[in-house]
Amino acid sequence: MRSRLTGFFVAYNVRDGPLKSGLRLGYFSGYPLNGPSAIPPMALTDILIRNAKPGKKPQKLFDGGGLFLYVTPSGGKLWRLKYRFGGKERLLSLGAYPAISLKDARERRDEARKLLAHDVDPGEHRKAQKAATLARAADSFEVIAREWFAKFAPTWAEGHSSKIIQRLERDVFPWLGARPIADITAPELLTVLRRIEGRGALDTALRAKQNCGQVFRYAVASGRAERDPSGDLRGALAPVKHENFAAIVDPAQLAELLRAIDGFKGTFVVKCALRLAPMLFVRPGELRTAEWTAFDLEKAEWRYLVSKTKTEHLVPLSAQAVAILRELRALTGQWRHVFPGREPRKPMSSAAINAALRRLGYDTRTEITGHGFRATARTILHEELHFKPEVIEHQLAHKVPDALGTAYNRTKFLNERRAMMQRWADYLDELKVDAKLVPMVNAR
């Protein structure tokens, strides 16, 4: 009888006005926590909870087993669980209504009761879970990937590093970023890579796999993962057929291009870069970001760090190259970069050389690119001018081990390279004068 009367007052007061801080509702607060999990006869309902109105003081609507809804004067409805552990009364927050429904709150209460049955404090258990979650978040794939990137990006070329972080941000982080790195499996990684393959970006998928492998190995080395799952995906991705950069290796066709460059109607800065590109045959990024402090025009030398290997490289300058640079220095010598862009404090755009070649009427996908001048020089220097491959490769700043096992050395074959660079510049001048004097070679 007492239960019905208490339930009557609960319902009546909820419908007709704010509950008083009365104790008739407090009857259920004494419901034994360690007793059966059956719901009391007049437990809370969703209707009662939705219709509960705030009063001047906080209200408590008990459901049984220590669970109650705490109604604040401002209208908030918060689930709380009162329990005893170690002889002391404790209170546990279970969330807010309606985000946590009555059913959810009861399930959370029952989970807490199970912990108590095993002598585990639900409050301390939650703290431990939260700490573990934070620790796992700190070891998420994205956190470790960005840590790896920050550590190694300063040793990479700017263009290379920007491509890596953009690839990770676009294709990997949205799906794996929040996952604890130690929990990521090979099939899970493959699903992400398959998504990249699905849009036809086979090369991007392969590079994403390589970058992920680097991140996993960094995590292993720093004690936050046990293995690199990307190694299990060997052969799982579609093979990529790499195409060489378009290049002209026919002397007659090269002569036509050189004459077209001399007639270029664009800016003087871009025209100088175009004239130097085949003459110096360095990587396009190294040419466009060249700085005046790296040049010694009296010694006819250009020293810089190779963008791919971060090793020092020396380019002997021909008399023709020095003449072009002296003329250009009168225009851009006050700036840091030899080839400044529209914003003088920044270098020329990475697309400038190829855009200029297209303006001259050349297809940069099938005929010639700024990078293709390297293949042009490599082929003609060996096949037409008969310079030794090892001399050419050193001038290209490629790592070519010799009989002693030493790799690229910036000063190796320096005298031969000086002679080769001058002969190459002279040869280019001869081509422009009369291409018929030069034997033809088959284009590759």
Amino acid at the residue 120: V
Backbone angles phi and psi of 362, in degrees to 5: -100, 140
Given 233, 266, 295, the domain boundary residue is 233
Of the candidates 167, 304, 408, 417, the residue annotated as catalytic is 408
Q: Which domain holds residue 20?
A: 2-131
- Does 42 score more than 70 pLDDT? no
Rounded Cα distance, 365 and 349, in Å:
19
Q: Do residues 381 and 301 share a domain?
A: yes
Domain count, the chain: 3
Q: Do residues 114 and 145 share a domain?
A: no
Average pLDDT taken over every residue of the chain: 84
Of the candidates 398, 399, 412, 432, the residue annotated as catalytic is 398
Rounded Cα distance, 34 and 14, in Å:
29
CATH number of 197's domain: 1.10.150.130
Query: What whole-number percentage of the chain has pLDDT above 70?
Result: 83
Query: Is residue 282 one of the residues assigned to a domain?
Result: yes
Neighbour tally for 416: CB within 10 Å? 17
Residue pLDDT, tens place only, 325-376: 999 999 999 999 999 999 999 999 989 999 999 999 998 888 899 999 999 9
Of the candidates 146, 371, 394, 417, the residue annotated as catalytic is 371
Q: Do residues 172 and 298 share a domain?
A: no
Q: Would the pTM of this model clear 0.85, i.e. be above it?
A: no
Alpha helix stretches (DSSP H) within 17-101:
46-51
Respond yes or no: is residue 227 known to be catalytic.
Answer: no
Of the candidates 207, 308, 329, 358, the residue annotated as catalytic is 308
Secondary structure class of 19 (helix, strand, coil): coil
Residue pLDDT, tens place only, 87-134: 899 999 999 999 999 999 999 999 999 999 988 889 888 887 776 666
Q: Do residues 299 and 396 share a domain?
A: yes
Q: Do residues 425 and 289 share a domain?
A: yes
DSSP string covering 48-111: HHHH----SS-EEEEEETTEEEEE-TTS-EEEEEEEEETTEEEEEEEEETTTS-HHHHHHHHHH
Given 131, 164, 186, the domain boundary residue is 131
Amino acid at the residue 249: V
Q: Do residues 54 and 152 share a domain?
A: no
- Out of 21-25, 50-54, 215-219, 333-337, pick the least confident: 21-25
Q: 305: which strand partners?
A: 312
Respond yes or no: is residue 31 known to be catalytic.
Answer: no
Rounded Cα distance, 184 and 172, in Å:
12
Respond yes or no: is residue 209 known to be catalytic.
Answer: no
Respond yes or no: is residue 313 known to be catalytic.
Answer: no
Q: Do residues 37 and 114 share a domain?
A: yes
Closest CA to 299 of 319, 283, 270, 269: 319
Query: Is residue 442 one of the residues assigned to a domain?
Result: no
DSSP 311: -
Query: Is residue 11 one of the residues assigned to a domain?
Result: yes
Phi-psi region of 316 (alpha: psi -120 to 50; beta: other; left: phi over 0): beta
Q: Do residues 277 and 355 share a domain?
A: yes
Closest CA to 100 of 111, 90, 89: 111
Respond yes or no: is residue 408 known to be catalytic.
Answer: yes
Integer CA distances (angstroms), 126 to 98, 102, 112, 121, 252, in order = 21, 20, 10, 9, 78
